[in-house]
Amino acid sequence: MFSLMANCCNWLKRWQEPARKVTLVMVGLDNAGKTATVRGIQGDNPRDVAPTVGFSKVDLKQGKFEVTIFDLGGGKRIRGIWKNYYSESHGVVFVVDSSDVQRIQETRETMAEVLQHPRIAGKPVLVLANKQDQEGALAEADIIENLSLEKLVNENKCLCQIEPCSAVLGYGKKVDKSIKKGLNWLLSNIAKDYEAITERVQKDTAEQRALEEQDKKERAERVRRIREESIGSEHMRICAPEVIKEVSL
């Protein structure tokens, strides 16, 4: 009887717990299927998706989690903004195009840059080996080998799970089971260390905002100096003829 009451109290306690807010960054090369994956999880049709320019933000509920996903564009010119989102992320979803063998080296180098970043290293990482429905797609073992994944995650102390999947084959309740399994794994591992990760997120976010504010002030100061120098030069140009005239007299 006592055991039954204790179990009921524990269940009630868990049920009353507020939803945990989690932020994830979804990265990978352009055309890897990031936006299709997000749309599928969200319950929208993942087919015929336009490339992401910049980023898109998606908010969704996953069990006891309120999840924000930043779907970041994967083009070479846009990857520089990724680091701006690392500080507030609790974990990473890295989407790989399993069928694009020619770009696997670029994928490996890009993944290494992400995992080595000081604001990502140590956070859990889900690797979605997407497009398994495509002919010639690399198998899970081949992707692990080509990405040097085991070495990367060990060097950067990241918990990692890889899930072969096909984002376009379903959505909502029919989303690829591997995507659902991977997302559950990621959220579960974040939950295990939620307080520590959240504390790190808050600290990193505060530091980044302070740096951005300092950079903003420095830019404003540079603009002010340029304007003053420009006004001074213009003043000298206007006054110069008068000076010459007075000297000639």
131 is in an annotated binding site: yes
* 170 belongs to an annotated ligand binding site: no
193-to-118, 158, 186 alpha-carbon distances in Å? 18, 13, 11
Check: CB of residue 99 under 8 Å from CB of residue 54. no
Is 32 annotated to bind ligand?
yes
> Is 29 annotated as ligand-binding?
yes
Whether residue 52 is annotated as binding a ligand: the answer is yes
Q: Is 21 annotated as a binding residue?
A: no
> Was 30 annotated as part of a binding site?
yes
Rounded to 5°, the CA angle 118-120-121 comes to 70
211: burial class by Cβ within 10 Å (0-12, 13-18, 19+)? exposed
71 among the known binding-site residues?
A: no
Alpha-carbon distance 32 to 19, whole Å?
Answer: 31
Q: Does 74 carry a binding-site annotation?
A: yes
Measured between alpha carbons, how far is 2 from 198 in angstroms, rounded to an integer? Answer: 35
Looking up tokens 């980044």, which residue turns up? 208
Q: Is 193 annotated as a binding residue?
A: no
Query: Does residue 110 have a known ligand-binding role?
Result: no
198 among the known binding-site residues? no
In the chain, the amino acid numbered 177 is K
Per the annotation, binding residues for Mg(2+) are 35, 52
- For the annotated binding site for GTP, the residues are 28-35, 74, 130-133
Q: Which residues are annotated as a binding site?
A: 28-35, 52, 74, 130-133
